[in-house]
Amino acid sequence: MVKFCPKCNNVLLPSEGKLKCPVCGYTEEGEKEGYEYKEKLKRKEEIAVIEGNEIETLPTIKIECPKCGHTEAYWWLQQTRCADEPETRFYRCKKCGHTWREYD
């Protein structure tokens, strides 16, 4: 049977012989039956930024670089958050190479 934290309503997980809330730290004595770890989740990988000669094949846009003020940059879209959220726009200045991002 799954138990939930009375403070924040998250699932209590087995930890050191007790049931513990991974969010607020609430602990209680309880049965561990029915709990089983299938696999440990991996940490998110870093976002890959385009480098090298690949950049020259990207489209350009008229936008001011926040670092040097140049008004032309390469741009690309990348999904950096959940699939139900919009993509992130990346820009790279054609003059100084500064890369920045813009969210919707």
The pLDDT tens digits for 10-68 are 888 887 778 888 888 888 886 655 556 566 666 655 655 666 666 778 899 999 999 99
Annotated binding site for Zn(2+): 5, 8, 21, 24, 65, 68, 93, 96
Q: pTM for this structure?
A: 0.50
Q: What is the pLDDT, as a whole number, of residue 20?
A: 86
Instruction: Single out the residue of 42, 31, 5, 41 nearest to residue 14, CA to CA.
Output: 31
Residues 4, 32 within the same domain: yes
**Candidate list 28, 31, 64, 85, residue with the active-site label:** 85
- Residue 84: inside a domain: yes
Q: What is the pLDDT, as a whole number, of residue 46?
A: 60
* Res. 81 pLDDT band, cuts 50 70 90: confident
Q: Tell me the residue range of the domain where 83 lies.
A: 53-103
- Residue 66: inside a domain: yes
Burial 70-99 (b: 16+ CB within 10 A, else e): eeebbebeeeeeeeeeeebbbbbbeeeeeb
Positive or negative CA dihedral for 60, 92, 88, 48?
Answer: positive
Residues 70, 98 within the same domain: yes
The total of structural domains in the chain comes to 2
Identity of the residue numbered 43: R
84 flagged as catalytic = yes
**Candidate list 16, 36, 46, 84, residue with the active-site label:** 84
Instruction: Single out the residue of 72, 74, 6, 2 nearest to residue 35, CA to CA.
Output: 2
List the CATH number of the domain containing 96: 2.20.25.10
Residues 20, 58 within the same domain: no
